[in-house]
């Protein structure tokens, strides 16, 4: 292993260790105090082809990077910095596999999706960045909420051209194992309103 590769290997190892713990997965609708179960899905159109990602035998933690999209969440609207990968921005990351419904435990509060990242080649630091600007509310007394499918559309240059939220409530039954779907309240993702431009009175 040459010096350059050794440095990249060490940096990647540290980066993998620095990634904060993801939002915990839920296996039923029983959330802890101050939590709510959230069900949804993330899609990419056109879908990712296996040939678009490159793996390396000596990249520790690489599998976790490549198999999913990472979405930064939080109690405030704080769009992520897409000029560099900063692990601190993903302190409460939603890790989702493309096209597979997820079910996670989230703090019981208005929650924002502040953007995301997909790794194509962890050694070369090639990534696709995804815009945020969405949030969901938690209805009072709801043990679980369904937030919909967050569908990203991209062009041939991996630039996100459109984002939509789709109500595919059938996904709720797909992830529940014996729990009644009637206990899940629909609270679809909403776009964060644009701030009005304040004009001078002069």
- Give the chain as a DSSP string: --HHHHHHHHHHHHHHHHSPPPPPB-SSS---TTEEEEEEEEEEESPPPGGG----TT-TTHHHHHTSEEEEEESS-----TTS--GGGGTTEEEE-TTS-EEEEEESS-EEEEEEEEEEETTTTEEEEE---EEE---TT-SEEEEEEEEEEE-TTS-EEEEEEE--THHHHHH-SSS-GGGEEE---EEPPPPPPPPP--
pLDDT along the chain (202 residues), means of 10: 47 48 88 93 90 55 66 93 78 89 96 89 73 95 96 94 96 85 94 68 50
Q: Specify the pLDDT at position 67.
A: 67
Q: Specify the pLDDT at position 154.
A: 95
Half-sphere CA count of 78, side-chain side, radius 13 A: 11
Q: Specify the pLDDT at position 54.
A: 64
Q: What residue segments make up the domains of the chain, in order of their start?
A: 3-191
Q: Quick one: three-class SS letters along 36-89? A: EEEEEEEEEECCCCHHHCCCCCCCCCHHHHHCCEEEEEECCCCCCCCCCCCHHH
Q: Specify the pLDDT at position 9.
A: 47
């Amino acid at each position: 292993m040459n010096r350059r590769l050794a440095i990249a290997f060490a940096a990647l190892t540290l980066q993998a260790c620095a990634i904060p713990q993801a939002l915990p997965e839920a296996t039923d609708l029983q959330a802890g105090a101050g939590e709510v179960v959230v069900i949804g899905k993330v899609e990419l159109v056109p879908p990712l082809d296996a040939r678009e990602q490159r793996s390396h035998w000596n990249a520790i933690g690489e599998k976790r990077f490549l198999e999913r999209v990472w979405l930064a969440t939080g109690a405030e609207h704080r769009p992520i910095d897409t000029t560099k990968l900063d692990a601190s921005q993903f302190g409460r990351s939603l890790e989702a596999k493309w096209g597979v419904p997820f079910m996670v435990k989230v703090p019981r509060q208005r929650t924002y999706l502040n953007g995301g990242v997909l790794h194509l080649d962890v050694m070369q630091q090639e990534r696709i960045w995804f815009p945020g600007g969405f949030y969901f509310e938690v209805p009072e007394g709801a043990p679980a909420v369904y937030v919909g499918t967050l569908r990203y559309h991209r062009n041939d240059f991996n630039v996100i051209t459109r984002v939509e939220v789709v109500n595919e409530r059938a996904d709720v039954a797909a992830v529940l194992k014996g729990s009644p779907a009637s206990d899940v309240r629909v609270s679809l993702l909403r776009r964060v309103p644009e701030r009005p431009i304040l004009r001078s009175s002069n």
